[in-house]
């Protein structure tokens, strides 16, 4: 019997053993504690009953032989009334208890005879009231925090800014957001394919379904509670190596309640640009959100309904246009007019252009209290959304022809049964089905190529034509989710056994650059149609766009199975330990075909000179389909026995996921399905008269045919192969954490915690069709940056390999202080220092882009460097103040402040490789001051001669003015060693409740959210800096290599032209403005 068969049988047995199952993420909370008598002795047999007051849901149990009780699977929220009772004794009742998501609430009771007084031991055991019990690291975010958080987008990613270890784009602990796991009501809500828009700009995507259309996966009005896990040692929580975001939705209650709301902003509520010359916001801007929520009983105490419906509409005028000072370094207005006025292709406008996004959200939930032991919840979340994309920044300028429309429609249905049985047994069952359709349509002719023109300043690029990732794009994913847990409370031990399974069906209807990708080294080269590089793909069988869309190049299933066991051990009243083990396996039932070309691939006679890999002919498709074990242990120690000083932590392995897009490339780039064309004019001239800009029914195929390839013959021309290495498995990390929480009676809480993560299995991208027989420039005396020439196998344009590496680590140290004064004031401040090192950021959608944009001296053997998600320093502070003016008025004022070290970026060569590789970036050598002149030649610009000495002097000035660059003289730049200035921002939320009923149950709320209040106070504050991600945050040193035709100086030095590159980073001119959003809500 194979290991795979054994694993499947194990899963089957678990389903048979677990008629009631649970979730990989929590959707409930737990009450536990001890019932004492008046002398402090345990009281066996006492009855403990918890009642969720809003719904009447009742949970009951009895204390065991040591007086301990355990109530699992409790509904989130409250208030709860919890009572402990025993015959002939006075009961102890506690009101106003709130159950938190994923938390185990410790609540002790003391019962006495009528004449008895409580002893000192009992008072100490019960005086602190309800306390949440946690083991690892993470943050629970309450409904009040969600309600009072300043936000204009009303998104989950706005709320998770509260996590001290978070950064932008939903990244946690210095980890790529693609490695997160996002669940809603315990069911997965990831963008499984993970194909993010490859646009520049400050914000990427969140890794959640709907992010491609700038749409939130669920309305905030539907959320009851949220939790972000960073280092949880509960083995039920898995499938992530970054962060795990879990949200639970609202339910109906015995009371008819709800609200109708609207939020909006426009240009009049948006501040002027106080950083540049853009002035007032374009009047075309608007952003509106409106909706309602309602909950009510269908049968009192039995059956409840909740619904939330929401509509959003937003329009964004382009901030940057040709003719502005902010874009002058890329192109002038005359340049833009020349490009638009040429007859080469329809470029669209370089001026005003509006993008939009809109969505319709439908959320409905039904809760059924079957009886006191069983509760069933069924919910559906459906989102219909679309958005247009077209982005500009200070390094990348796009004509409007690059715009495309993206549609994302998704529907997720989840049913969950929670049950409690006799003898301490409890269990849950969750079944979910999710459907996501994601498509793109160019706003212009889909057959026209994407044109990339080097801008007037090195490192800047002009784009026009059809986006290469929009010409053919139609993704579909279907997910069936089955999960199961069974817990058995034995007093000292709580045993849990379970399984979690995600079954995906992927239709990957995408072809990269079917329309082609054409590079020009200057605007003049474009106007004379003198291309430097042309890339593109074509189908051997039928290259018609409609046929390719109807017959996706990759249709496959991926199944993620998990099984786990753990024991929560109550070693003593002070110490709890939770050891467990989890087994994960990603099963790819059908592997991509290995073409004859791959199996007979030529070997490199120089193999192993600068890098190693599995030769193509030895690739055997034996990857994934392997069990990965993740043992974990967590602990929690109540140092003083009164919950005031808690030491918590643990260590364990966590197995995650990768974007399915990386696997999909291996299905459609087999070497037998699509041809791959990648030609540079300095290596092989293009056939005279062939025109890469004309488009047509075959996309770029006609140009490829005109250059000598028979495009319907798989043995003619070159092809690209994307392969997965033997033994490849999903990412896995070792993570350990240690935290100390100290709370004093005046409700000050002090926390110190550290998290360390070491890669066990991370990802590595290589391009193997490069002959490993390099040379080196004379200045490279340490032979650090090889110069390659020649290919290994002429049948391939490129061959990419996805493999594992154990290199990489990250850590963070966080200190926090918080203060709470009942319902009046909540305040906190935290500081995090963190670092993250990796070989590859994995930020791109394909093996090709991840390799081509990874800055390394030896791209096939990269070294550890700062990650794109490196935290470094982050300060987060919040304060929320409530003021009740009278019985008819109430005000909340909340302030959120964050300050973070700038985003990392790399100094280097942009949109070119100096190493003879098909890369788009290179690290750069920083010569000694007197050596610099050897890299330049006299040149003419605008009728004036610029001498080599002048260029060297200007280059030396640039280097001398930068502390990092000046430290690298005689050496090469390093990946992500540059930093933008700090990003600091304060956001303000103000709400005022006007009660319109005597009991205060009906009220009108007026809200104002002021984003980037800092820039309103001072024009030098609140500026949002970023490094555009188009070239993986690479900033030019102002050096343009002379490649076409190539030149060399005396001594074998390459020849560059130097032009001052300006600032090495960009400014978000929209995010740097103060923005106000007004809202009104009627609650009943």
Instruction: Give me the mean pLDDT over the 113-126 stretch.
Output: 50
Q: What is the C-alpha to C-alpha distance for residues 340 and 395, in angstroms, rounded to an integer?
A: 19
Residue 21 domain flag: no
Q: State how far the alpha carbon of 685 is from the alpha carbons of 520, 679, 689, in Å.
A: 14, 8, 12
> Does residue 912 sit in the same domain as residue 896?
no
Domain stops at, among 900, 919, 949:
900
For residues 846 and 949, state if they share a domain.
no
CATH of the domain at 72: 2.60.40.1120
Residue 260, Cβ neighbours under 10 Å: how many? 14
Give domain status of residue 254, yes or no.
yes
Counting DSSP H helices and E strands in the chain, the numbers are 14, 61
Taking residue 619's Cβ as centre, other Cβ atoms within 10 Å add up to 22
Two tokens, residue 571 = 């070693």
> Quick check: is 12 in a domain?
no
Q: How far apart are alpha carbons 213 and 222 in whole angstroms?
A: 20
Among 873, 900, 927, give the residue marking a domain's end.
Answer: 900
Please state the pTM of the whole predicted model: 0.91
- Domain shared by 70 and 174, yes or no: no
Domain membership flag for residue 3: no
In a domain, 553, yes or no: yes
Q: Which of 114, 134, 119 lies closest to 30 in space, CA to CA?
A: 134
How many C-beta atoms surround the C-beta of residue 620 within 10 A?
13
pLDDT at residue number 206? 58
Q: What residues form DSSP beta bridges with 582?
A: 564, 630
CA pair distance 331, 1062, nearest whole angstrom: 14
Domain limit, last residue, from 900, 918, 952: 900
Q: Which of 129-143, 204-218, 592-606, 812-826 has the lowest mean pLDDT?
A: 129-143
Looking at residue 128, what is its pLDDT?
A: 47
pLDDT band at 205 (very low <50, low <70, confident <90, very high): low
In this structure, are 461 and 572 located in the same domain?
yes
Q: Are residues 87 and 147 in the same domain?
A: no
| Judgement on whether residues 575 and 651 belong to the same structural domain of the protein | yes
Contact 237, 25 (CB under 8 A): yes
Q: How many domains does the chain have?
A: 3
Residues 835 and 979 in one domain: no
Q: Give the model confidence (pLDDT) of 387-400 as tens digits.
A: 999 999 999 999 99
Distances from the Cα of 280 to the Cαs of 276, 350, 426, 522, 1070, in angstroms? Answer: 11, 19, 60, 33, 11
Q: Is 383 in contact with 215 (CB distance < 8 Å)?
A: yes
Residue 10 lies in a domain: no
Quote the pLDDT of residue 142. 84
The conformation of residue 449, written as its DSSP 8-state character, comes to: P
pLDDT digits (tens, 9 = 90+) for 56-84: 899 988 888 888 898 888 888 889 999 99
SS3 content of the chain, % helix, strand, coil (to 5): 10, 45, 40
pLDDT tens by residue, 510-545: 999 999 999 999 999 999 999 999 999 999 999 999
Do 255 and 172 fall within a single domain?
yes
Question: How far is Cα 988 from Cα 148, in angstroms, rounded to an integer?
Answer: 9
The Cα–Cα gap between 755 and 650 comes to 10
- The answer to whether position 73 is within a domain reads yes
* pLDDT tier for residue 116 given thresholds of 50, 70 and 90: low
In a domain, 14, yes or no: no
CB atoms within 10 A of CB 689: 6
Closest CA to 629 of 588, 586, 584: 584
Please, are residues 701 and 543 in contact by the beta-carbon 8 Å criterion?
Answer: yes
Same domain, residue pair 366 and 251:
yes
> What per-residue confidence (pLDDT) applies to 114?
60
Pairing of strands 1056-1058, 674-680: unpaired
The answer to whether residues 871 and 835 touch, using CB atoms and an 8 Å cutoff, is yes
Containing 815, the helix (H) or strand (E) segment is strand 809-821
Which pLDDT band, with edges at 50, 70 and 90, does 23 fall under?
very low
Which long-range contacts (C-beta less than 8 Å, at least 24 apart) are formed by 7-10? 7/561, 7/563, 7/583, 7/585, 7/627, 8/561, 10/563
Dihedral pair phi/psi, residue 220, rounded to 5°? -65, -25
Sequence length of the chain is: 1084
190 φψ region: left (φ > 0), alpha (ψ -120 to 50), beta (else): beta
pLDDT of res. 696: 94
Q: How many whole angstroms separate alpha carbon 439 and alpha carbon 550?
A: 13
Same domain, 574 and 486: yes
Which two tokens mark 192? 């499984």
Sign of the torsion angle spanned by Cα atoms 134, 139, 145, 147: negative
- Tell me the two tokens of residue 431: 């079944």
Range with the lowest mean pLDDT among 89-103, 400-414, 772-786, 888-902? 89-103
Identify which has the larger pLDDT, 875 or 91.
Answer: 875
Range of the domain at 632: 140-900
83 plus 228 within the same structural domain: no
Q: What rounded mean pLDDT belongs to the chain?
A: 91
Nearest to 468 by CA among 807, 737, 844: 844
Percent of the chain with pLDDT strictly greater than 70: 94
């Amino acid at each position: 019997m194979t290991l795979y068969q054994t694993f499947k049988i194990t899963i089957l047995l678990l389903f048979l053993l677990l008629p009631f199952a649970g979730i990989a993420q929590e959707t409930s909370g737990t009450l536990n504690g001890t019932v004492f008598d008046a002398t402090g002795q345990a009281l066996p047999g006492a009855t403990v009953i918890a009642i969720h007051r809003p719904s009447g849901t009742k949970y009951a149990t009895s204390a065991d032989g040591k007086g301990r009780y355990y109530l699992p699977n409790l509904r989130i929220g409250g208030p709860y009334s919890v009572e402990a009772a025993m015959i002939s004794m006075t009961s102890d009742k506690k009101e106003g208890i709130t159950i938190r998501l994923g938390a185990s609430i410790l609540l002790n009771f003391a019962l006495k005879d009528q004449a008895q007084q409580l002893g000192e031991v009992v008072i100490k055991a019960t005086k602190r009231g309800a306390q949440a019990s946690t083991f690892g690291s993470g943050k629970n975010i309450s409904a009040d925090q969600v309600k009072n958080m300043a936000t204009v987008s009303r998104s989950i990613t706005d709320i998770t800014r509260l996590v001290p270890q978070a950064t932008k784009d939903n990244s946690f602990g210095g980890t790529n957001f693609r490695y997160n796991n996002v669940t809603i009501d315990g069911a997965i809500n990831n963008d499984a394919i993970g194909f993010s828009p490859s646009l520049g700009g400050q914000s990427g995507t969140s890794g959640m379904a709907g992010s491609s259309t700038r749409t939130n996966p669920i309305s905030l009005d539907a959320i009851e509670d949220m939790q972000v896990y960073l280092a949880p040692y509960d083995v039920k929580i898995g499938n992530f190596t970054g962060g795990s975001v879990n949200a639970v939705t609202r339910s109906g209650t015995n009371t008819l309640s709800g609200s109708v709301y609207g939020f909006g902003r426009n240009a009049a509520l948006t501040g002027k640009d106080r950083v540049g010359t853009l002035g007032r916001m374009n009047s075309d801007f608007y952003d509106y959100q409106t909706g309602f929520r309602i909950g009510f009983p269908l049968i009192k105490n039995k059956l409840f309904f909740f619904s939330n419906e929401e509509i959003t509409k937003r329009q964004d005028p382009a901030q940057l246009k040709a003719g502005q000072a902010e874009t002058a370094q890329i192109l002038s207005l005359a340049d833009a007019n020349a490009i638009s006025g040429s007859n080469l292709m329809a470029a669209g406008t370089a001026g005003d252009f509006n993008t939009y996004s809109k969505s319709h959200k439908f959320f409905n939930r039904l809760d059924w209290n079957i009886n006191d032991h069983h509760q069933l919840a069924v919910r559906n979340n459906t989102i219909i959304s679309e958005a247009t994309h077209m982005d500009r920044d200070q390094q990348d300028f796009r004509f409007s022809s690059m715009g495309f429309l993206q549609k994302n429609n998704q529907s997720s249905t989840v049913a969950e049964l929670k049950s409690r049985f006799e003898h301490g047994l409890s269990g849950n069952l969750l079944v979910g089905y999710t459907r996501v359709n994601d498509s793109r349509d160019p706003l212009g002719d889909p057959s026209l190529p994407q044109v990339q023109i080097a801008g007037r300043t090195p490192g800047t690029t002009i784009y026009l034509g059809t986006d290469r990732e929009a010409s053919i794009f139609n993704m579909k994913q279907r997910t069936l989710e089955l999960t199961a847990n069974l817990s058995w409370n034995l007093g000292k031990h709580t045993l849990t056994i379970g399984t979690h399974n995600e079954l995906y069906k992927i239709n990957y209807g995408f072809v990269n650059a079917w329309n082609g990708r054409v590079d020009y080294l200057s605007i003049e080269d474009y106007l004379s149609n003198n291309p430097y590089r042309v890339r593109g793909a074509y189908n051997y069988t039928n290259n018609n766009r409609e046929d390719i869309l109807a017959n996706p190049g990759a249709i496959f299933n991926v199944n993620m199975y998990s099984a786990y066991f753990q024991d929560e051990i109550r070693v003593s009243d002070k110490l709890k330990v939770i050891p467990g083990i989890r087994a994960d396996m990603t099963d790819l039932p059908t592997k991509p075909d290995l073409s004859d070309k791959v199996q007979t691939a030529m070997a490199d006679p120089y193999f192993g000179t600068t890098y190693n890999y599995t030769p193509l002919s030895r690739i055997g498709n034996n990857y994934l389909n392997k069990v990965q074990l993740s043992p974990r242990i967590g602990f929690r120690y109540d140092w003083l026995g009164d919950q005031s000083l808690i030491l918590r932590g643990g260590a364990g392995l966590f197995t995650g996921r990768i974007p399915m897009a990386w696997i999909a490339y291996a299905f459609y780039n087999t070497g037998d399905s699509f041809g791959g064309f990648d030609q540079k004019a300095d290596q092989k001239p293009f056939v005279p008269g062939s025109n890469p800009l004309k488009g047509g029914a075959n996309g770029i195929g006609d140009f490829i045919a005109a250059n000598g390839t028979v495009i319907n013959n798989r043995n003619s021309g070159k092809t690209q192969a994307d392969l997965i290495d033997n033994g490849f498995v999903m990412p896995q990390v070792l993570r350990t954490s240690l935290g100390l929480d100290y709370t004093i009676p005046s409700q000050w809480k002090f926390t110190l915690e550290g998290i360390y993560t070491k890669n066990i299995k991370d990802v590595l991208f290589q391009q193997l069709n490069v002959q490993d027989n390099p040379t080196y420039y004379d200045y490279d005396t340490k032979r650090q940056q090889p110069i390659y020439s020649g290919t290994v196998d002429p049948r391939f344009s490129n061959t990419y390999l996805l493999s594992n590496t154990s290199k990489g680590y990250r850590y963070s140290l966080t200190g926090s202080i918080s203060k709470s004064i009942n319902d009046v004031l909540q305040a906190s401040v935290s500081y995090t220092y963190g670092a993250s090192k990796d070989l590859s950021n994995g930020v791109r959608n394909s093996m090709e882009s991840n390799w081509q944009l990874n800055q390394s001296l030896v791209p096939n053997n990269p070294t550890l460097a700062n990650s794109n998600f490196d935290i470094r320093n982050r300060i987060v502070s919040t304060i929320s103040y409530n003021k009740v003016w009278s019985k008819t008025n109430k005000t909340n004022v909340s302030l959120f402040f964050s300050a973070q070290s700038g985003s990392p970026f790399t100094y280097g060569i942009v949109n070119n490789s100096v190493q003879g590789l098909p890369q788009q970036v290179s690290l750069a050598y920083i010569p000694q001051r007197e050596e610099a002149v050897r890299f330049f030649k006299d040149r003419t610009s605008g009728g004036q001669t610029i001498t080599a000495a002048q260029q060297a002097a200007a280059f030396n000035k640039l280097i001398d003015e930068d502390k990092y660059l000046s430290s690298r003289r005689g050496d090469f730049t390093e990946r992500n060693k540059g930093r933008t200035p700090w990003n600091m921002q304060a956001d303000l939320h103000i709400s005022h409740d006007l009660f319109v009923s005597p009991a205060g149950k009906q009220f009108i709320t007026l809200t104002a959210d002021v984003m980037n209040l800092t820039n309103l106070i001072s024009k030098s504050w609140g500026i949002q800096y970023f490094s555009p991600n188009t070239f993986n945050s690479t900033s030019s040193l102002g050096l343009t290599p002379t490649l076409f035709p190539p030149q060399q100086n005396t001594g074998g030095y390459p020849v560059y032209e130097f032009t001052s590159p300006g600032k090495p980073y960009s400014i978000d001119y929209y995010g740097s403005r103060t923005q106000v959003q007004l809202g009104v809500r009627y609650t009943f």
